[in-house]
Structure 1
Amino acid sequence: MDKYFSVILSIAIFLIFWYTLFHDTLNIPSFDDYDATLVFIKQFYFESQSFSDRISVLFLRHNEHRILLSKLAASGYFGIFGQVNFGHLVILQNLFLLGFFGIIVSVFKKEKQLSSTAFLFITAFLFSFSLWQVSFYYWAGIQHYTVFFFSFTSLIVLDKTEKVISPHFLLAVFLALFSVFSFGNGFLALLLGVFLLFAQKKYPVLVTWMIISLAILIVTFFIDFQIHGQSGEAFKIEWMARLLFTFLGSFLYINPSSGQHFNILVCMFAGAFVLLFWVYLFFSGYALKKPLLYSLFSLPILTGIIISISRFETKAAGGIAPRYMFFTATIPILLLLILLDMKIVKKAFLNYLAGAVVLLWGVTFYNNLVALKSMNTQIVSTVRKWQYDKSIPLVYYHNAEGYTKTLQWAINQHVVQNRIYFSSVRSNYK
């Protein structure tokens, strides 16, 4: 594929993503926005009596996660503008996607594997519409984008660290701390940091990192510890395996209007290959030879293992949830980097691979844009009906009372705009 054509396609994908982001993002709370943002604003600005109270609210768990970055962004925006605009917060969270994109490109460049075709490959997966729930709603993206942004940067900086008393080490700890307080899987940066330093035989740095990591884990997991079970089902390893394999291969899910079962089977086989290859890299010695690349590749895979254990009852369907797709979008990118590094994939073959990826992007763009517009229409319709009938649940899997009180309070206090605002959403959602 001609390098200029690859660059033009990359720019086109990028612009289509951002145009859709500005055009189809709603300034309306939905799903976890009620608890994670509106209730938080109420506790932080309206109920906290002291500075210590506000700090406590910032670090309180949301379910099994600590979402400090989500809370800081929302409270900062409200503090400046006196109101919460979810559309603006969505744009803000996607700046972390841009930052993560830059990180991945820099890793390819560092490994001398960056080309215009590889750039197209990265762009097509990171700006895929398979990520639509993460990209277009504040309740997902602000947590998922930040946790991988800080986890990846922490490991990259730690890879450059030679001494404990050094700017690199302090920065790596700081970034890891932010990853832990961004989302539940952020602790993986700490564990993979241990592996990275062990593989590099940086033992003084390793010991210090382990002590600091243990302290962080104690504070974050054993203070205010809680587990929110998803169901009363007994754990079934078969269900977990189905979820895990589907999750690891979900970058091939196109969200078809028919033939979903076949598409899921394709994802499961691809996911099984990814897992086996990951294990092979460890036992073949590649993990010790290239610990940074292996650690980065391990982040989405270990995330998948955590999700498959905690959400096992959703079986294969849980592996294709759009809210997880950002994590899995990194798998083919890092897989390609490792295969290029191992010289298994030649750069000449990369042209054909990039062509297939662009085709995949096009199909997922159409199918998931339909899903995005459908959900937006449903959210707007539900809020409008709720304005006239407060018994209507704002979120289908929760009863109406709690979220009704939250939204009504937010409107009364002008945290969000009134009903005139809700009727002024873009015409394509009227």
Structure 2
Amino acid sequence: MIISPIKTKPITFFWYFIACLPILLFFYTFIIYAVNIPFLDDFTFFSFIPILYNNSNGFNKISVFFSQHNEHRILTDRVVALLIYAIKGNVDYEWMMLVGNSFLVGILVIYFKVFQQLNLSFKYFVSLSFLIFNTQIFENSFWGMASVQNYGVILFVLILFYLISSSKRNYFYFSFIIAFLATYTSGNGILGSIVASILLLLQNRIKDCLIFSVFSLFLLGSYFYGYISPPTINYFNGVTSKDILIGFFSFLGAALDIFRNYSFRYIFTTSAGFIAFLGIGFFFRTSIFRSKLFYPNKALNQVELFILGSILFILVTTVIVVITRVNFGQNSLLASRYRLYSILLFINLYFAALFYLKVGITNKIIFPVLLIAICYNLISNYQSNYDVVALNKTRNCGLANDIMANINKPIQSGILVYQKSPLWFDEFLPQFQKPIANSPIWGEEYSLKKSTLFLFVIENSTESYLKKNQCDGVYLLLQSHDNTYILPTNQRRNSIKNFLQTGQLWTNGFIGDFTRKQILVGNYQLGIWMQKNNKGESFYLNDSLSIK
């Protein structure tokens, strides 16, 4: 049954304030822990700027923007980076992250535009802020080019569905531009155009569907023109149909991966995904077969079409990710960088419930739903705070090691493409490289062990200190005749029970791990670097490590 319209209540300052709280907390966390440090693809990404500036041919300059980056064409990333370069004189990855995270605000705005058509009080919308703006999605949020690419493609695809699901003619014309941007923001953007064609078909807009389908084929052809396929990988090596099915449901339920330290983690996310899939099935049965395509006298409205398009896009993306990642294990499908898709799936199902349920029922569920969303946000932030701090330390140590090794030059073809911001370790680099054997002996209990063939773990359960700065903590020093490395450890986190009782996020001890591939071959003496209150001191560990 379609919900009957009711009068919209005045949007009070209180509900605005509640809706803004998770957004403010999200960006506050971002400001504290974001650092202008390139990561993985970022190092090769900024090489397009020297190519652009050193090329005199106008056509070649344009083709640089559309050139392939790994398996993607990342026009939006390059435009954003070029604008930042024009303003600052170099690519600032913290600025790129800020632009990418602002796309999350854009996603929230699009959902608000759809929500307005439900003709409900704003309090029904508040939950969305708590669901979207939490640090479960930290991997993309603190990664320069990935934040623009992965949040940007979702934003453009959702805008496309909003435009296509409207009967306004100018919206249809504008959708071509948005479809183009979605396609050239990330590889799965082309799925948005395919789904948009389906939405036009369900509206029985046959002419528009044909026109847009032709345009989608053009986008597909242009995207793969001159495309260099990555090395062939057997994605199904050792993978069973059961692995794929469980991976599919686990990916859909990844938003509820809030029990990462418990054995029932995978069962919980898989069950949540299965329940969500049942909800999808109910919505599809209710919506698709009630469309104008099957019943000329009936029609889906813009809300139903938008929800339908969003869910189809998420489902197809899920299938692609599962096929390409399932051989890395179920844990890879719960990675932070994919988490937003699952969150948006549950948001769309929530919108579907608001649309179809009677007013009396929605009035009863609003506050329980809001309470669940708030608790979800708090638990997610608690769980992910450890990861955000660890990521910040890892990025800092990675850049410090690059500087000591004199690699990843910021100047390419005579152009400064990246300029490091002042960081905490700058003044300590000479001390990192002083002989560890001349330092005092650190007498606290610790253990360094090989966890797997390639992974090493250092642990301690006694060291206690109060964190006053984000860089405070214990770091592992490795020194050989030719190389020096500083590697992060992370203070142990309190359990939720102890956290609620004491208000202390951290407890005694630290743990850190590093892989063989991070370290060049050599015999290394080990030490500890203690960073506290903007001061640092190294200690000798009566231990060594041989990397072969």
Distance (whole Å) between structure 1 residues aligned to residue 213 and residue 191 of structure 2: 13
Counterparts of 1:217 and 1:82, CA distance in 2:
35
More helix by share: 1
Indicate which of 232, 254, 259 corresponds to 1:250. Answer: 254
Cα distance in structure 2, aligned partners of 1:148 and 1:77: 22
Matching residue within 464, 470, 482 for 1:428: 470
Q: Distance in 2 between matches of 1:203 and 1:420?
A: 58
Residue 113 (structure 1) shift: 4.1
**Residues in 1 aligned to 2:353 and 2:231: alpha-carbon distance in whole angstroms:** 39
Distance change (3 Å), C-alpha of 1:254 and 1:170: same
Question: 1:160 touches 1:168 (CA, 8 Å); kept in 2?
Answer: yes
What is the aligned partner in structure 2 of residue 341 from structure 1? 355
Please give the TM-score of this superposition, normalised by the length of structure 1. Answer: 0.87
The corresponding residue for 2:497 is none
Aligned-residue offset at 1:54: 2.0
- 1:372 is the counterpart of 2:388: yes
The SS at the match of 1:28 is coil
Deviations 1:228-254 (A, max 9, x none): 556665254333223221110011112
Q: Residue 139 of structure 1 aligns with which residue?
A: 145
Cα deviation, 1:21-52, whole Å, max 9, x if unaligned, reads 1221101111221122x222333334x34222
Matched, 1:310 2:312: no
Aligned to 2:49: 41
1:87 to 82, 90, 94: 94
Which protein has the larger Cα radius of gyration, Structure 1 or Structure 2? 2
Tell me whether 1:186 sits opposite 2:189 in the alignment. Answer: yes
Q: Does 1:214 align with 2:217?
A: yes
After superposition, the C-alpha distances for 1:189-240 in whole angstroms (9 at most, x for unaligned) are 1111111111111111111111111111111134425245566652543332
Amino acid at match of 2:364: A
Instruction: Please name the residue that 1:332 is paired with.
Output: 346
Q: Any idea what the Cα deviations from partners look like across 1:260-312, whole Å, max 9, x if unmatched? A: x4122211111122223323332344563433321122222221111111222
For residue 184 of structure 1, give the secondary structure of its aligned residue in structure 2.
coil
Match of 1:265 in 2: 267
Rounded to whole Å, the distance in 1 between the matches of 2:100 and 2:112 is: 19
Partners of 2:424 and 2:232 in 1: CA distance? 34
2:127 aligned with 1:111, yes or no?
A: no
2:312 and 2:235 map into 1 onto residues whose CA distance is 30
| Distance in structure 2 (CA, Å) of the matches to 1:109 and 1:58 | 37
How far 1:12 moved relative to its partner? Answer: 1.9
Q: Which runs of 5+ in 2 are unaligned?
A: 1-10, 292-299, 428-467, 473-548
Amino acid of the residue matched to residue 247 of structure 2? Answer: L
Deviation at 1:3, TM superposition (A): 7.7
Give how far 1:343 is off. Answer: 0.5
Q: Which runs of 5+ in 1 are unaligned?
A: 391-403
Counterpart position of 2:334: 320
Q: Residue 243 and residue 314 in structure 1: after superposition, are their counterparts in 2 closer, same or farther (change >3 A)?
A: farther
Aligned counterpart in structure 2 of residue 19 of structure 1, from 15, 25, 28: 28
DSSP-derived class of the 2:329 partner: helix
Deviations 1:345-379 (A, max 9, x none): 62311211221121111011122121011011011
Q: Where does residue 104 of structure 2 map in the other structure?
A: 97
CA contact (8 A) 1:240 1:315 kept: no
Aligned mates of 1:307, 1:160 — CA distance in 2 = 30
- Say whether 1:64 aligns with 2:71: yes
Closer, same or farther in 2 for the Cα pair 1:328/1:63, shift >3 Å? same
Query: In structure 1, what is the equivalent of residue 401 of structure 2?
Result: 385
Q: What do residues 318-353 of structure 1 show as CA deviations (whole Å, max 9, x unaligned)? A: 221011122222111111000121217623112112
Q: Percent identity?
A: 20
Q: Which has the higher contact order (CA 8 A, sep 6+)?
A: 1
Normalising by structure 2, what TM-score? 0.69
1:385 to partner: Cα distance = 2.1
CA separation in 1, counterparts of 2:269 and 2:223?
A: 34
Deviation at 1:134, TM superposition (A): 1.7
Provide the aligned length of Structure 1 versus Structure 2: 407
Equivalent-residue separation in structure 1 for 2:373 and 2:64 (angstroms): 43
Contact kept? 1:63, 1:228, Cα under 8 Å: no
Pick closer, same or farther for the CA change 1:419–1:181 going to 2, 3 Å: closer
Say if 2:36 and 2:421, in contact at 8 Å, map to a contact too. no
Q: Distance in 2 between matches of 1:209 and 1:301?
A: 21
The answer as to whether partners of 2:164 and 2:171 remain within 8 angstroms in 1 is yes
Secondary structure of the residue that 2:416 maps to in structure 1?
coil
1:139-218 counterparts in 2 under 5 A?
Answer: 139-161=145-167, 166-218=169-221
Q: SS of 2:227's equivalent?
A: coil
- Residue 114 of structure 2 aligns to a residue whose secondary structure is helix
- Matching residue's letter, 1:428: Q
Change (3 A) 1:422 1:40: farther
Distance 2:211 2:229 in 1: 28
Query: Is the Cα–Cα contact under 8 Å of residues 193 and 216 in structure 2 kept in the other structure?
Result: yes
Q: Amino acid of the residue matched to residue 25 of structure 2?
A: I
Pair 193,114 (structure 1): closer, same or farther in 2 beyond 3 Å: farther
> Match for 2:470: what amino acid?
N
Work out which of the residue numbers 377, 387, 397 in structure 2 matches 1:361: 377
Equivalent pair of 2:136/2:339 in contact (CA under 8 Å)? yes
- SS of aligned partner of 2:419: coil
Change (3 A) 1:217 1:266: same
Read off the aligned partner of 1:102 and give its amino acid letter: V
Provide the residue aligned with 1:393 in structure 2.
Answer: none
Q: What is the rounded CA distance, in whole Å, between the counterparts of 2:362 and 2:89 in structure 1?
A: 54
